[in-house]
Amino acid sequence: MKAITKADRDALARLPEGCWFFIDQVSYMVRNPRWRCDRLTDFGLLESEVVKQRYESIPGAFGYVPRFRKARHPGASEGESK
């Protein structure tokens, strides 16, 4: 895998802190958000999981979509103990 780039670090700095987010919520913050989030996940800087989500436009329809959040590292936040 290639090394983390300045663009990766800049994108990570723009992403929300302390909460899960979906690609469509950050598309205005980061160029190529799906690719960038997958790349940051590969580096261990984001966590991801797939969740079931209801489609607003199609009653009764569901789909599975990825969501992301910044990775929690031991000691990274004030509330975590080492």
pLDDT digits (tens, 9 = 90+) for 26-63: 989 899 999 999 999 999 999 999 998 887 777 888 88
Task: Provide the token pair at 67.
Answer: 């969501």
pTM score of the predicted model: 0.76
pLDDT value of position 63: 87
Exposed/middle/buried for 38, CB within 10 Å: 0-12, 13-18, 19+?
middle
* Other CB atoms within 10 A of residue 78 CB: 5
Distances from the Cα of 72 to the Cαs of 13, 16, 26, 29, 61, in angstroms? 15, 13, 19, 21, 33
